Amino acid sequence: MKRIESAKNPKIKHIKRLHKRKQREKDNQFFIEGPHLVEEALHYEAAVQEVFLEEEFSVPSSWDFKDIPVTFVPEAVMKEMSATETPQGVAAVCNMTAVSNLTLEQGRYLFIDGIQDPGNLGTIIRTADAAGLTAVILGEGTVDLYNDKVLRSTQGSVFHLPIVRGDLEDWVEKCKKKNIPVFGTGIEMGTTHTAIEPQETFALLIGNEGSGVSEFLLAKSDQNLYIPIHGKAESLNAAVAAGILLYHLRG
Amino acid sequence: MKRIESAKNPKIKHIKRLHKRKQREKDNQFFIEGPHLVEEALHYEAAVQEVFLEEEFSVPSSWDFKDIPVTFVPEAVMKEMSATETPQGVAAVCNMTAVSNLTLEQGRYLFIDGIQDPGNLGTIIRTADAAGLTAVILGEGTVDLYNDKVLRSTQGSVFHLPIVRGDLEDWVEKCKKKNIPVFGTGIEMGTTHTAIEPQETFALLIGNEGSGVSEFLLAKSDQNLYIPIHGKAESLNAAVAAGILLYHLRG
C-alpha cells in the first residue's frame, strides 16, 4: 500500500485543483468522496483512477478495488483534499468517461436547460435515475455535473445512467426525426400535465430555476406542459417539478 | 424612523439569539430575511413585529407596513443579524401565531414524521402549498419550522397555509373518526401509488429521510403507498417523493 503523509504532496495539490471546473475539464478527471459515492463508483465500474483512505476507515467487505491503486492518507490530508467540513475517511479520483457517441433511440430522455443550483441538478439526476430514464442531456448554462455538491446530491445516480453535455437544439431536432415527442415545461402557457397520457418514448425539457426553458426551445417543443398551482405558492422547486412530470409521463 | 447604529444594541443582540430554537420558543418569535419572505409576511398579514432596513434598500411600492415599526440599520448591523453570507438589505421579526385550535375537516393534509433536513422541510411545505393542501402537521422529531434555512426554502409558503406541530398518532386517530383515509409511505411494503385513485380528502404521512415513517404510524394507516423505482437509484429525495404523491392523490 502506498501512503502520502503530507498535504504538500503534488498529488494532493492536484486533487485540490479538481474542485475547480476548469481544472477538471483540462484533466478530464473529477473527485468524489464519502463511502456511498465511492462504493457506487466501484460497483458500476466508473473509471476510478485511485482511491484514498484514512487508516481508520473500515472498508466494507463487498468493495472490490480490482487493480485500482489505493493510497493511505492521514486525517489532516483527507481534510485538505475534501470539499466538505467533515470528510468521511474515503475519497477517489475518477476519469470522465466519454459518452459522446450516445445515440438517440426510442426511450425516455430528460433535457436540462440551464439548471443552476447544484443540489437541484443532483436531485434531478437522482430522480431521472429512479424514473428509469434512458439518458440525461445537459444543455449549455447548466451547472457542471462534476461539481462536488452535484455529485453528492445525485447519491450515486451519476454512475447509473448516461449523462452527457449537448446542444439541446440539436437533440430536439434528433427527436423530431425519430418521432419522439418533446415536452417543454412552463408556468403560463401550455397544457396541464395530467391532460397528457403516459408515453412509451419522450423527451422532457426542464428549464432554469428563474427563467424556465429558453423560448426558442419551447417554440420547437411538440407540446408545453405545466403543473397547476392550487395554492398560493408561485412555483414548485425544479427537482420536485421534474419528479412530478417524469413520473406522470412514465406512467 | 428609528435607527440602530450599533450591533451591540440590545435589540440586535436579541435577534441574534433568535437563530437558536430554544430562544425562539421562549420568546414565541422568529426572524426572517430577504425581500421575498418579508413581502410575503406583510402581504399575508403574518404577525410582523418590526422590519429592519438598510438605507440603500429600495422598498417596493406595493409594500404596506401599516403600523409596523420600521428601523434603519447600517450594512454591518444587518450582517450581524443575518444568518446568511450575503444579507439582502431587509429583515423582520415576527411572532409565532398560534393555530393550536386547528380542527380537522374534510380536506387534504400532510403529516410529517421526522423530516430532518431544513431544505427538505421547506421544499415540502412549498410543495404542499402548491398542491393546495388544507394544512401541514409537523410530528415530533421534525426539524424546527422557524429554522432560517427551512423558512428560506418555503419561499414564503410558511405564510400561506396552517402549519402546526402535533402528535401524529392523535391526528391519525382524528382522521379515522372522520373517515379521512390516511396513507403511509414506505419503500418496501404497500401499494404502488398509481393504484390509488385521486381523493377528495386524505392525509399523507411522509417520514424521515433515512428511516421513513415510524412503524407504529404505518400500522395505523389505511394503506401504505410506495413510488416504484424503475432505475438503479435506491430512493427518491423526500421532497420529490412528497410532490409525486401529493400531486397524484390530489388528481
> Distance (Å, rounded) from C-alpha B164 to C-alpha B251?
25
- Name the residue facing B244 among A126, A161, A244 (closest C-beta): A244
Range of the domain at A119: 108-250
CA distances in angstroms from A155 to A110, A148, B233, listed in the order given: 18, 11, 8
Q: What is the pLDDT of residues A75-112, one digit of tens each?
A: 999 999 999 989 999 999 999 986 667 899 999 999 99
The minimum CA-CA distance between B172 and chain A, rounded to whole Å, is 24
Does B120 share its domain with B221?
yes
Question: A230 and chain B: CB distance < 8 Å anywhere?
Answer: yes
Tell me if A53 is assigned to some domain: yes
> Distance (Å, rounded) from C-alpha A4 to C-alpha A123?
34
Single out the residue in B50, B74, B95 at which a domain terminates: B95
Does B65 share its domain with B133?
no
- Which chain B positions have a beta carbon within 8 Å of A163's beta carbon? none
Q: What is the pLDDT of residues A105-158, one digit of tens each?
A: 999 999 999 999 999 999 999 999 999 999 999 999 999 999 999 999 999 999
Report ipTM for this prediction: 0.94
Q: Which residues of A139-170 are buried (b: 16+ CB within 10 A; e: fewer)?
A: beebbbbbbbbbbbbbbbbbbbbebeebebee
Which of B43, B192, B200, B232 has the most A C-beta neighbours within 10 Å, making it the best mutation to test the interface with A? B232
What does the pLDDT read at residue B46?
81
Does A89 share its domain with A117?
no
- Which chain A positions have a beta carbon within 8 Å of B192's beta carbon? none
Provide the domain count of chain A: 2
Single out the residue in B68, B95, B122 at which a domain terminates: B95
CATH code: domain of residue A152: 3.40.1280.10
User: Which chain B residue is nearest to residue A135, measuring alpha carbons?
Assistant: B231
Tell me if A52 is assigned to some domain: yes
Does B129 share its domain with B226?
yes
CB contact under 8 A, B230 and A194: no
Question: A229 and chain B: CB distance < 8 Å anywhere?
Answer: yes
To 10 degrees, what angle do helices B118-130 and B238-250 make?
10
**Contact yes or no for A93/A47 (Cβ under 8 A):** no
Q: Is the pLDDT of residue B245 over 90?
A: yes
What pairing do the DSSP bridges indicate for beta strands A29-33 and A2-3? Answer: unpaired
Q: Is the pLDDT of residue A63 over 80?
A: yes
Does A84 share its domain with A123?
no
Single out the residue in A61, A95, A129 at which a domain terminates: A95
